[in-house]
């Protein structure tokens, strides 16, 4: 049984991010592997250490405020999980919150989890629309961004991809997202995984490897033809 843990889905679930969990569950089940989705919301007594894949979505400022205390309580454990190579996909708000700091438009510094080596500051413009990336690891990546935060990575980490169309991390340096160990963090909503099966299978493969389950023969799925069609259509849609 592969355990997919959703972090704070009650408050951090904008623009279809919950769909990422369903994609992982179905892709595992189609390959004959049982999977369960476990939600962790503020105050829950969840055994995070038993999770195989972690997902976190985007949320409004009010949602981020609601989870701050619980997130601080679990910082050390989440940090160990990232360092240990547990696969994670963190979208938008959770991407920002696991960084070091977020500087508001008024100059207030909000301390993040400090797990990801990056800082974010509020921008004056909202970066919104369809976005396309190119990644050496995953090829073409498509999604939808909607954020005003401007995120800047340390030189010690690589972005998820280079922006082909859209704004990305900060609308300045042409990068989008971050890759650290087996964690992927990004501003791409959509939900992301239905249109990007290579990323979904990366998360699955890393989870199986940690369980000692061979991944060499992860069979391809016929439905991926539809996913690639959706990806092509999304690429051609206007910004």
Q: Give yes or no for a contact between 131 and 167, defined as CB atoms under 8 angstroms apart.
A: yes
Read off the pTM.
0.95
- The token pair at 6 is 């959703």
62 CB burial (10 A radius; 0-12, 13-18, 19+): exposed
SS (HEC) of 72-110: HHCHHHHHHHHHCCCCEEEECHHHHHCCCEEECCCCCEE
The pLDDT value given to residue 235: 84
The pLDDT value given to residue 92: 95
Q: Give yes or no for a contact between 162 and 174, defined as CB atoms under 8 angstroms apart.
A: yes
Residues in the chain with pLDDT values less than 50: none
Summarised one tens digit per residue, pLDDT across range 2-34 is 999 999 999 998 778 999 999 999 999 999 999
Q: Give yes or no for a contact between 182 and 163, defined as CB atoms under 8 angstroms apart.
A: no
Just list the catalytic residues: 92, 189
Return d(Cα 151, Cα 138) in angstroms, integer: 21
């Amino acid at each position: 049984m592969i355990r997919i843990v959703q972090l704070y889905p009650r408050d951090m679930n904008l623009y279809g991010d919950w769909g990422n969990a369903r994609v992982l569950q179905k892709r595992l089940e189609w390959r004959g592997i049982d999977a369960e989705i476990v939600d962790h919301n503020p105050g829950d007594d969840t055994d995070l250490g038993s999770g195989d894949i972690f997902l976190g979505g985007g949320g409004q400022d009010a949602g981020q405020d609601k989870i701050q205390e619980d997130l601080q309580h679990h910082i050390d454990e989440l940090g160990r999980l990232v360092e240990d190579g547990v696969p994670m996909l963190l979208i938008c708000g959770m991407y920002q919150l696991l960084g070091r700091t977020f500087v508001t438009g008024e100059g207030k510094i909000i301390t993040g989890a400090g797990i990801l080596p990056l800082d974010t500051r509020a921008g004056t413009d909202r970066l919104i629309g369809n976005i396309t990336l190119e990644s050496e690891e995953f090829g073409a990546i498509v999604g939808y961004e909607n954020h005003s935060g401007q995120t800047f990575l340390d030189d010690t980490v690589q972005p998820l991809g280079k922006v082909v169309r859209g704004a990305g991390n900060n609308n300045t340096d042409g990068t989008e997202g971050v890759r650290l160990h087996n964690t992927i963090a990004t501003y791409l909503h959509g939900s992301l995984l239905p249109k990007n099966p290579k990323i979904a299978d990366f998360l699955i493969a890393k989870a199986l490897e940690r369980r000692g389950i061979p991944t060499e023969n992860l069979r391809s799925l016929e439905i991926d033809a539809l996913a690639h069609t959706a990806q092509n259509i999304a690429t051609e849609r206007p910004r």
